[in-house]
Amino acid sequence: MTNLLIHSMSEFSPLIGPALERAQVQHVAEIGSEFGGMSRFLADHCGAAGGKLTCIDPSPKDAFTDWVSAHDHVEHVALPSLEAFDQLSDVDAWVIDGDHNYYTVSRELEAAAAIAQRDGTPFLAFLHDVGWPAARRDMYYAPDRIPEEYRHPYSFEDGVHIDLAELVPNGGMRGMGQYALALHSGGPRNGVLTAVEDFLATAEQSGRQLVYAHVPAVFGLGVIIDAEAEWADDLAGIFVPFHDSPLLASLEVNRLRNYAKVIEWQDCAA
């Protein structure tokens, strides 16, 4: 079933690659590695730029850890992201694709922005899953790590469908025990895009000039750019043609509806 679903952040490499080059990025911090599909692409860039890649993931797959050991310019920090920031400095770009929930993402953004401000580095962040289903619905790999006041009621068994607000009992697109989904979507402090929007609003209130681009494909790519960086216009030129594209959004909805039908057929067969 997973072979039918395009889901990796690496699908955005034709956009992210030129952005890293124009921003002269040398040190990338990647939050969430799993199999290392995006990590390999980032490592190639950092190696060519004479820099390094720091991957933060408490429990990646074995194939990833084997790959890291073969690359001197790649470091693996085996901690949850919110426990790893004390070890980071001089990061040129952040790639955030870890635990897709409001509490985690909002604090990852706050910590990353604080490090950039401390080190005098323009802020640049790429975030995955800013689209459906995690845009307005929390996902939890480890619910116990989320403070109770931020944790919504959740299910490890039920799944989501692009046309339904409620979860599908033992059906739909689901984590099969690997992650949980909030029982409801929308509302305050729920979802990755909500976390991004609240972060941007707080930054604006504090006088920080940040620009946001939203690519509505492959579960959504969000890009936060420091508007005062000398390369800001160059990066905007890369992402503006895709920002909130109605064509891409329509194709994404169609893709997800087709995949939902495949899951339905497979569940019926099982």
Cβ neighbours of residue 84 closer than 8 Å, sequence gap 6 or more: 56, 77
pLDDT at residue number 3:
62
Q: Average pLDDT, whole number, for the chain? A: 95
Q: Per-residue pLDDT tens for 193-249? A: 999 999 999 999 999 999 999 999 999 999 999 999 999 999 999 999 999 999 999
Quick one: pLDDT at residue 2? 46
Residue 4 pLDDT exceeds 60: yes
Rg (CA), the chain: 18
Which of 189, 220, 214 shows the shortest CA–CA distance to 106? Answer: 189
pTM for the structure as a whole: 0.96
Tell how strand 52-56 and strand 27-31 pair up.
parallel
Beta bridge partners of 76: 55
**Model confidence pLDDT, tens digit, residues 157-192:** 999 999 998 999 999 999 999 999 999 999 999 999
